[in-house]
Amino acid sequence: MPLPKAELHLHIEGTLEPELAFTLAHRNNITLPYTTVDELRAAYEFTDLQSFLNLYYALTDVLRTEADFTDLTRAYLTRAAAQGVRHAEIFFDPQAHTARGIPLDTVIGGITAALDTAQADHGISTHLIMCFLRDRPAAEAMDTLNAARPHLDRIIGVGLDSAEVGHPPNDFAQVFAAARDLGLRLVAHAGEEGPPDYIRQALDLGVERIDHGIRCLEDPDLVARLAAERTPLTVCPMSNVRLRAVDTMADHPLPALMDAGLLVTVNSDDPAYFGGYVDDNYRALAHHLHLTPEQLRTLARNSFEASFLPADRIKELTALVDAH
């Protein structure tokens, strides 16, 4: 059995496997610009974040009904359970759907219908995090936050994703402050392709966890701050290699991040696109970077510690890692 772990950096839209994309396209009478699963999978050759996002947003078009979002989320939870996931904090991109006329109720209703049975079906507890698209206007993020008000009992926090460079966290200071006033937890993608200063800006906005964050290593003062504040990084190794933020898995800076005393976690990001789910990421690290079983257990314990679960639950789940 894989190590028990939490997954904290997972875009539900990024779990859309080619087979399900074709099934949903057929169900919704949509013609994809690919004729076979193999042809679609062959398009998963990315040169950077933007080249991936282009396909990611194009394929979201097959998600139309509440049932589509439920089926997508159920498929993820089934795979996650097989990878040892005991708790998942799941991102979704409301604007990727509302911008194409899909109501927010449909998106949230569909996803939460699957989350509601995750504990009973798979022994997985879940939280939902709503991400703002940073390459769209900050005013639209604020509109999205306001539109989500009736659903805030189902949403634990907000995040910031999509094309990073040229879209610094400071542009979203107002909406992050409003989210915090509503009692929401704050996370943000920073330092994936963007500079260390974006990580600093995110911290200054009150962000509690940095998604990716690998470029912090270029700035020793920033590393010291992240270590002192025990701010978690949700690192996604296979994503970094596939989006060419890192040359090969053997070059991944995860050991350097751990050696710097940072609270590092391992996650899958968009597993349908990057060739593996979360335990596949653990195994790739173990293989290419020769991580020891104790280092892997540390990463699994970190994943629970970095979660938004209550302290007593973190203790229980961490004990499962110790006993593994």
Q: Which residues make up the interface to ligand HPA (CB under 6 A)?
A: 11, 14, 49, 56, 161-162, 189, 192, 239, 269-270
Q: Catalytic pick from 7, 13, 66, 192?
A: 192
Question: What is each CA distance from 178 to 173, 186, 321, in whole angstroms?
Answer: 9, 11, 37
Q: CA 138, 143, 148 angle in degrees (round to 5)?
A: 125
Encoding tokens for residue 260?
């710097």
- Mark the binding-site residues for Zn(2+), compressed into ranges: 9, 11, 189, 269
Nearer to ligand HPA among residue 270 and residue 305 (C-beta): 270
Cβ atoms < 10 Å from Cβ of 302: 23
Q: Which amino acid is at 287?
A: H
Q: How far is the CB of 282 from ligand HPA (least distance, A)?
A: 18
Per-residue binder mask for Zn ion (CB under 5 A), 59-98, x = binder? ----------------------------------------
Within its chain, how far is the Cα of 53 from the centroid? Answer: 14
Distance CA 141, CA 75 (A): 28
Q: How far is the CB of 1 from ligand HPA (least distance, A)?
A: 28
Site for Zn ion contains 193 (CB under 5 A): no
Nearer to ligand HPA among residue 238 and residue 321 (C-beta): 238
Q: How far is the CB of 79 from ligand HPA (least distance, A)?
A: 17
Nearer to ligand HPA among residue 66 and residue 193 (C-beta): 193
Query: Which does residue 14 touch among Zn ion, ligand HPA, none (CB within 5 to 8 A, set by kind)?
Result: ligand HPA
Q: How far is the CB of 232 from Zn ion (least distance, A)?
A: 14
Residue 18 CB burial class (10 angstroms; 0-12, 13-18, ≥19):
buried
Could you confirm whether 229 is annotated as catalytic?
A: no
Task: Give the residue closest to ligand HPA by C-beta.
Answer: 161
In sequence order, the 6+-apart residues with CB closer than 8 A to the CB of 127 are 87, 88, 89, 90, 156, 157, 307, 308
Cβ atoms < 10 Å from Cβ of 314: 19
Nearer to ligand HPA among residue 239 and residue 307 (C-beta): 239
Stated length of the chain: 324
CA dihedral 150, 155, 161, 166 (to 10 degrees): 60
Query: Which does residue 192 touch among ligand HPA, Zn ion, none (CB within 5 to 8 A, set by kind)?
Result: ligand HPA
Q: Which amino acid is at 252?
A: H
Q: Give the footprint of Zn ion on residues 264-303 (CB under 5 A).
A: 269
Encoding tokens for residue 255?
């050991």
**Collapsed DSSP state (helix, strand, coil) of residue 92:** strand
Q: How far is the CB of 252 from ligand HPA (least distance, A)?
A: 15
What are φ and ψ of residue 165, in 5° steps?
-65, 130
Nearer to Zn ion among residue 12 and residue 321 (C-beta): 12
Query: Which does residue 162 touch among ligand HPA, Zn ion, none (CB within 5 to 8 A, set by kind)?
Result: ligand HPA
**Collapsed DSSP state (helix, strand, coil) of residue 208:** coil
Query: Which does residue 7 touch among Zn ion, ligand HPA, none (CB within 5 to 8 A, set by kind)?
Result: none
User: Quick one: how many helices (H) and strands (E) in the chain?
Assistant: 17, 8
- Mark the binding-site residues, compressed into ranges: 9, 11, 189, 269-270
Nearer to Zn ion among residue 68 and residue 211 (C-beta): 211
- Mark the binding-site residues for substrate, compressed into ranges: 270
Q: How far is the CB of 281 from ligand HPA (least distance, A)?
A: 13
Query: Which does residue 297 touch among Zn ion, ligand HPA, none (CB within 5 to 8 A, set by kind)?
Result: none
In sequence order, the 6+-apart residues with CB closer than 8 A to the CB of 166 are none
Catalytic residues: 192
Q: Which residues of the shown chain bind Zn ion in the complex (CB under 5 A)?
A: 269
